[in-house]
């Protein structure tokens, strides 16, 4: 398999899960401004949507969108811990991935386009805070070690990556003590440390 990625982008979640399932895979960096890969390929020819991640499963067979890639990879976990194979447990993973992808991801994404006025920034921060407050409350009311159950999974990886973006946009995560605790736990995983180093995000 090959993962097309951009450092620190949402493709980092797929990178983490690839490390978790301990399979051989290649990485190819994408410049999201030029839409060229590090090998000089036209990324639009690989993924016409133009953004990451894209997972090449076999030559010419491409899967896109984190909500599809993350469960696909997680089901290959030899320990069968990353995602329940069926039933309500699997549905809860998909529910979280849907919320993170369609709501929280989009809320952060407004900072990555054109420059925002101070008023627009405050409005965007408020939307992120509204979404994080829901997640904070859900974690506080749960007896689980992670978002879905007591096992780390793709939703935890995705939340970790998205909330990393707070650092780059001047957003304060300090009020979200439960999210921070979960982030710290995720950050300690070897799969995360390796992915962060491979993408040049940590030394």
pTM for the full model? 0.97
Q: How far apart are CA 101 and CA 114, in angstroms?
A: 21
Question: pLDDT per residue over 11-29, tens digit each?
Answer: 999 999 999 998 999 999 9
Q: How many other CB atoms are found less than 10 A from the CB of residue 159?
A: 25
Q: How far apart are CA 197 and CA 85, in angstroms?
A: 31
Nearest to 66 by CA among 113, 106, 32: 106
All domains in the chain, ordered by first residue:
2-78+191-198 (3.40.30.10), 87-189 (1.20.1050.10)
Question: pLDDT per residue over 26-76, tens digit each?
Answer: 999 999 999 999 999 999 999 999 999 999 999 999 999 999 999 999 999
Question: Which residue in the block uniquely carries the two structure tokens 């490390």?
Answer: 19
Nearest to 165 by CA among 142, 131, 117, 203: 131
Strand order across the beta sheet in which 61-64 lies: 36-37, 26-31, 2-5, 54-58, 61-64
Residue scoring higher pLDDT (102 or 79): 102
Question: pLDDT per residue over 126-174, tens digit each?
Answer: 999 999 999 999 999 999 999 999 999 999 999 999 999 999 999 999 9
């Amino acid at each position: 398999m090959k993962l097309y990625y951009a450092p620190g982008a949402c493709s980092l979640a797929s990178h983490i899960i690839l490390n978790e399932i301990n399979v051989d895979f290649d990485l190819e960096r994408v410049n999201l401004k030029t839409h060229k890969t590090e090998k000089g390929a036209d990324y639009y020819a690989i993924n016409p949507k133009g953004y990451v991640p894209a997972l090449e499963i076999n030559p010419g067979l491409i899967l896109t969108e984190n909500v599809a890639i993350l469960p696909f990879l997680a089901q290959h976990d030899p320990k069968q811990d990353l995602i329940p194979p069926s039933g309500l447990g699997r549905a809860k993973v998909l529910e979280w991935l849907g919320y993170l992808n369609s709501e929280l991801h989009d809320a952060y994404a407004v900072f990555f386009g054109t420059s925002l006025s101070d008023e627009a920034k405050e409005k965007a921060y408020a939307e992120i805070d509204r979404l994080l407050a829901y997640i904070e409350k859900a974690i506080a009311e749960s007896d689980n070690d992670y978002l879905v159950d007591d096992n780390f999974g793709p939703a935890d990886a995705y939340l970790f990556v998205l909330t990393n973006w707070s650092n780059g946009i001047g957003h304060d995560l300090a009020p979200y003590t439960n999210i921070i605790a979960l982030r710290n736990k995720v950050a300690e995983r070897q799969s995360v440390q390796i992915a962060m180093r491979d993408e040049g995000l940590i030394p």
